[in-house]
Structure 1
Amino acid sequence: MALAEEKAESQVGIPQPVYDIPDGGLQAWGAILGGWLISFCTFGYASSFGIYQDYYVLAGASTSSNISWIGSLQLFFLFFLGLPAGRLFDAGYFRALTLGGSVLYLFCLFMLSLADPTKYYQIILAQGIGMGIGGGLMLVPALSLQGHYWKRRRGMALGLVLTGSGCGGIIYPIMLNHLFNGSTGFHWGVRASAFLTLGLLVLAQFVMRTRLPSAKDRPPQPKPNILAIFTDPPFAFSLFGGFMVVWGLFMPYFYLQLWVNLHGLSSTLAFYTIAILNAASIFGRIIPNMLADRFGQFNVVVPVSAITGALVFVMFASTTTGAVIVFTILYGFFSGSYIALVPSTLAIMAKDTNEIGVRIGLGYFATSFAMLTGTPIDGALLGHGLILNWSKPIVFSGVVIIAGAGFLAVGRHLFVRVKGTQWT
């Protein structure tokens, strides 16, 4: 007992190193580029699942609800692993996470190219579980790395990184649509996207460098108190609000192409809807984040999430070509804004840089369950067969997003009281 107390006292007395945040420089921009590439290949690919949803439904793999579980599982693991990946990142295992995640992700993507698209178990193992886990090991470390290089312009940096998912959501859907519906077919179409992903992830490994020493070379570090973070009132309300928003956020990403096809609109329009949605999200991931650096993350994320929820109801009127295009652009912009604002909103509640990874990871971990269940609920509400009930998933998604915006507003109010400033 005496030895334990002496050891604890000695560790308390060890001065903890203070690491400066450069807010620029070649390595800082390399971190943004590497994070952008990882975001492109992981979140960008996952947000393109609407192409696979449409293909698998028409191929007869299963019902629309069952198939949506594949994309939901991929998104779930992408964010569920945020907590362990964030803690390992904070402990100094950045390179092991990104390299191991890249290998697993690429292996499963090539396995998907060998799968039979009518065999449900094959595609859910490769695409839903394998690619989700591989991507989850990479995404949060790539986002958390920005906190070691950027402070004053952290929102801008995270927004730029997450534009990668928007760009991936443009390139992959157009590429896959052309290949699936052309002479190439499903197998070589997936394989072509895998070779593109391979090149980009290799490049990402070369341009990213962590600034902090590895775990074994660091002095003893204080361990983040997960329970204290989780029960912190501003963080808890924000976490629950984020869960509600994400619960309904991805319904158009999964079902918009099917909506256009089943409403008798142009097949060319259906072909490009997911790409247009993600293209609009690129601007949404830059402009609001720049505003958030000036006016405060909460002051931007609350109205953005409320507008996103209201826009879901606009789908009821999106039955013409012009209306679909307007809805797609607006929803892409504001939903992309919300996605990009989440990491910086979580990061501002961290007590120091050692908590950034775990805060972002814990937030992503909690919202992963919303990603897992949201779109399958939409699919179940939609039904299957010749007659689909679109009003149920639209109302469900819109209501839960607006409710989430309300909880985020409560989290902002509590955080303002703690910080004693209005610009948060």
Structure 2
Amino acid sequence: MNPAAMASTGSLEDHTTTNSVQLDQLDSAKSLPKEKPDVEADVSQSLDHIPDGGMQAWCATIGGAFISFCTFGYASSFGVFQDYYVLAGTSTSSNISWIGSLQLCLIFLVGFPAGRLFDAGYFHSELLFGSILYLFCLFMLSLADPTKYYQLLLAQGIGMGVGGGFMLVPALSLQGHYWKKRRSMALGLVVTGSGCGGIIFPIMLNRLISGADAVGFAWGVRASGFLSFGLLVIAQLLMRTRVPGAKERAEQPKPDILGSLTDPSFVFTVFGVFLVYWGLFMPYFYLQLWLNLHGLSSTLAFYTIAILNAASVPGRIIPNVLADYFGTLNVVIPVSLTMGVLVFVMFGVTNTAAVIIFSILYGFFSGGYIALVPSVFAVLASRPEELGIQMGLGYCFTSLAMLTGSPIDGALLGHGTILHWPKPIVFSAVVMILGSGVTCIGRHFLVEKKGTKWT
């Protein structure tokens, strides 16, 4: 054979062999399991640098304040409905208080699945679902018969509670993605929205339902629904997340729920918040009724809840600003202790001046406590990716206090012509003072865990 031909044949065979090896290697590579991406990288890298300001951060805070205004602000105005339903003969004061307490409870009980969905990247989906459900039930409340207890419980207690829960806790958790050094301030501004809602909604509802400009229960509630609709639409447009959505991110690790539930700092701190919440809402639910039954000015009673919530606005800002400098638990403990002492003072709130002073002081400190609680739960989180689940877990347990606190007060108060006011007053004051002591124990364990007293 020609040597040139032999060389050409050898070269062809070598080339064929090389291609075969490359194909074998390619097939082997395809058969090997693909290396999994870093499951935390896409989220943690987004949260490596928290801006602590900027246009998007302030938009998130403003949008969160609007959500807080419509959900927690509306629920904290239930004293107007409590007074109206009692006088309308819907049921006993204890049964009626279950409607408001169930709404408050579900707003935060739903925070557990809502927080988990937030961490998983479903922020916008749950916000949209919650808004639609909340507004639907609010307008259904306007169609309800005030004398039919089950209709009020379904629309106001259950429906609005669940809808609000899918909005509020995610809106609070979102602040941790934009704020770190000034996180308590941002959370305070968000919760300030509920204080503003607690000013506007009681005045609006009182005047439209039974005041000088009365248009009736249906249109009074409907007007509040239109206001909520506009604010929730704006909130949807303002709020954005800094992490990839559920479809764009890799599979995330499951949260260590058991680790949180066995952490002494978490257990004692959350139990302390539970005890304080057990007694916190008694004046919000019963102060207007207290004034009406003690023969004080009907005009003053008309504005009592609005005064409470107006005083809570600076209370939701000033203590949170102090918390950024002195530590969240270092501020929340004396605030809760002061609230317990103030409830004891209710025994002397029997004239106009005393009512106004009490409403201002209790509104300030209770508003401060409510605004500090999200920061308390945020401090318990080890990293930003756990903010949603940590807040959800904390609010899930404390929501049971919101569910049972006011009905217990109503049962202790009794019904009919003879009401036993000392019983709910003493109960609420004692559990709040006890709660501040339990929170001190939680702070002790958190200091040991984090190695700093500024918590």
Match of 2:366 among 335, 338, 343: 335
Kept in 1, the 8 Å contact 2:40–2:253? The answer is no
Q: Identity of counterpart residues, as a percentage?
A: 71
Match of 1:275 among 306, 310, 321: 306
Greater mean alpha carbon deviation, residues 12-21 or residues 164-173 = 12-21
Query: C-alpha separation between the residues in 1 aligned to 2:349 and 2:120?
Result: 48
Structure 1 unaligned residues grouped into runs of 5+: 1-5
Question: Which residue does 2:58 correspond to in 1?
Answer: 29
Q: TM-score, normalised by structure 2?
A: 0.90
Query: C-alpha separation between the residues in 2 aligned to 1:12 and 1:206?
Result: 32
Greater mean alpha carbon deviation, residues 15-24 or residues 30-39 = 15-24
Match of 1:344 among 367, 375, 387: 375
Q: What letter matches 1:87 in structure 2? A: R
**Where do residues 190-339 of structure 1 align in structure 2 (5 Å cutoff)?**
190-339=221-370
Superposition deviation, residue 222 in structure 1: 2.2
Query: C-alpha separation between the residues in 1 aligned to 2:136 and 2:357?
Result: 38
1:70 aligns with 2:99: yes
Q: What letter matches 1:280 in structure 2? A: A
1:389 aligns with 2:420: yes
Superposition deviation, residue 345 in structure 1: 1.2
1:79 aligns with 2:92: no
Partner secondary structure for residue 237 of structure 1: helix
Match of 2:392 among 358, 361, 369: 361
**Where do residues 371-386 of structure 1 align in structure 2 (5 Å cutoff)?**
371-386=402-417
Question: Which residue does 1:164 correspond to in 2?
Answer: 193
Q: What letter matches 1:105 in structure 2? A: Y
Query: C-alpha separation between the residues in 2 aligned to 1:177 and 1:120?
Result: 20
Superposition deviation, residue 230 in structure 1: 1.6
Superposition deviation, residue 12 in structure 1: 6.6
Query: C-alpha separation between the residues in 1 aligned to 2:176 and 2:453?
Result: 23
Q: What letter matches 1:279 in structure 2? A: A
Query: C-alpha separation between the residues in 2 aligned to 1:236 and 1:63?
Result: 35
Query: C-alpha separation between the residues in 1 aligned to 2:382 and 2:249?
Result: 19
Structure 2 unaligned residues grouped into runs of 5+: 1-31
Residues 316-339 of structure 1: CA deviation (Å, up to 9, x unaligned): 000010001111111011111111
Superposition deviation, residue 217 in structure 1: 1.1
Question: Which residue does 1:370 correspond to in 2?
Answer: 401
Question: Which residue does 2:135 correspond to in 1?
Answer: 106
Q: 1:419 to 1:255 in 2, by over 3 A?
A: same
Question: Which residue does 2:167 correspond to in 1?
Answer: 138
Q: TM-score, normalised by structure 1?
A: 0.97
Question: Which residue does 2:70 correspond to in 1?
Answer: 41
Larger radius of gyration: 2
Query: C-alpha separation between the residues in 2 aligned to 1:194 and 1:105?
Result: 9
Partner secondary structure for residue 381 of structure 2: coil
Query: C-alpha separation between the residues in 2 aligned to 1:58 and 1:173?
Result: 17
Q: 1:7 to 1:394 in 2, by over 3 A?
A: farther
Q: 1:217 to 1:264 in 2, by over 3 A?
A: same
Residues 23-45 of structure 1: CA deviation (Å, up to 9, x unaligned): 11111000011000000000000
Question: Which residue does 1:152 correspond to in 2?
Answer: 181
Superposition deviation, residue 14 in structure 1: 7.3
